[in-house]
A = this chain, B = another copy of it.
Amino acid sequence: MKKLINAPDKVVADALEGLAAAHPSLAVDLENRVVTRAEGPRPGKVGLVSGGGSGHEPLHAGFVGYGMLDAACPGEVFTSPVPDQMLAAAKAVNSGAGVLQIVKNYTGDVLNFQMAEELAADEGVEVRSVLVNDDVAVEDSLYTAGRRGTGATVFVEKIAGALAEQGADLAAVAAVAEEVNARSRSFGIALSPATTPASGQPGFTLDESEIEIGVGIHGEPGRRRGPIASAARLAETALDAISDDMPLSGNVLVMVNGMGGTPLIELYIVYREVQRLLAARGVTIARNLVGNYITSLEMQGFSLTVCRLTEQFTELWDAPVQTPALRWGR
């Protein structure tokens, strides 16, 4: 295993110190492992908290800032954060308007965020949760009952974050978050595995010309293995899996996400294919993201996420955002 680390058990702690040093806009509570906005909560604003295992950077800490998250709770690599972290986050960002937890559907995350919700209630903090479960590849998987939560998390955090910034109440912010999840689908394809620092071994193995079709963000098995194919063919595979599950029409928001080890030039090639396929089906990509937004350490491959836009979604997507990983309009 060759990694730029000091020791496997120091990865998250060291990275959080680096994050704190690099971004004065963030406040990093190293003891509780909670990343918040440096300026603190704004009175009357719903607080948005997310979190999950580390190794998916820039998710979630890279999305803390104006117009998106108020706090992120990073767990160990590919491991859920603990309820105490989430509770600390909820208390740190609560300004009286309540807190929305954005939870990717993995059993550990779900249980821990649920416990945090109860602990927060005991302390008089109103917390609600929205579950993200957009990955159409498989029902149930390693670590998950039901569908896995993947790329739609970025859309939920941005769109619900914008609505919260505008002063909407907790019920409205939760409702739009649920609606974004309901209108979004994802599908991923891996060309290579990832190695967690703790294990030191690849999470799975692939032959020289083999790929994992429908892979999860922790390397969970997908639908099948097959030979590497052209970008055009792989884009079609991902898009068909999505559109078979949710017919597409009108305006969509598309993310072609890199899994961490894929060159940007390849992601643009995939985006070109997705754009052509959608255009041929009469679907317009009104907004897009191309790059590394929800990664799996150094895994090579991509995931495609498509969200059927509403007018409200588009407006909220375009609203100003100022985070380390996503910035525009302000």
Indicate if A198 sits at the interface (CB-CB under 8 A). no
Chain A 291-330 per-residue mask, 1 if CB under 8 angstroms from chain B, else 0? 0100101101110000000000000000000000001100
**Contact across chains for B298 and A261 when beta carbons are under 8 A apart:** yes
Question: A268 CA to B18 CA in the complex, in Å?
Answer: 5
**Contact across chains for B57 and A264 when beta carbons are under 8 A apart:** yes
Identical chains in the assembly: 2
**Contact across chains for B261 and A15 when beta carbons are under 8 A apart:** no
**Contact across chains for A18 and B272 when beta carbons are under 8 A apart:** yes
Give the residues in chain B near A6, CB-CB below 8 Å. 230-232, 269, 273
Task: Name the CB-closest residue of B to A330.
Answer: B330
Report whether over half of chain A's contact residues are helix, strand or loop; otherwise say mixed.
mixed
Choose from B228, B266, B267, B297 the contact partner of A263 (Cβ within 8 Å): B297
Known contacts A264-B292, A298-B262, A298-B263; is-contact A2 B209 (Cβ 8 Å): yes
**Contact across chains for A268 and B22 when beta carbons are under 8 A apart:** yes
**Contact across chains for A3 and B266 when beta carbons are under 8 A apart:** yes
**Contact across chains for B269 and A302 when beta carbons are under 8 A apart:** no
Chain A interface extent, by class:
35 or more
Between A208, A270, A288, A298, the greatest number of chain B beta carbons within 10 A of the residue's beta carbon is seen for A298
Indicate if A202 sits at the interface (CB-CB under 8 A). no
Choose from B209, B269, B290, B328 the contact partner of A327 (Cβ within 8 Å): B328
Choose from B18, B19, B266, B288 the contact partner of A4 (Cβ within 8 Å): B266
**Contact across chains for A2 and B261 when beta carbons are under 8 A apart:** no
**Contact across chains for B269 and A15 when beta carbons are under 8 A apart:** yes
Question: A136 CA to B265 CA in the complex, in Å?
Answer: 27
**Contact across chains for B228 and A2 when beta carbons are under 8 A apart:** yes
Indicate if A17 sits at the interface (CB-CB under 8 A). yes
Known contacts A22-B288, A262-B298, A275-B21; is-contact A234 B4 (Cβ 8 Å): yes
Give the residues in chain B near A266, CB-CB below 8 Å. 3-5, 15
Give the residues in chain B near A272, CB-CB below 8 Å. 14-15, 17-18, 21
Q: List A residues at the B interface (Cβ < 8 Å).
A: 2-7, 11-12, 14-19, 21-22, 54-55, 57-58, 62, 77, 191-192, 208-209, 211, 228, 230-232, 234, 260-273, 275, 285, 288, 290, 292, 295, 297-298, 300-302, 327-328
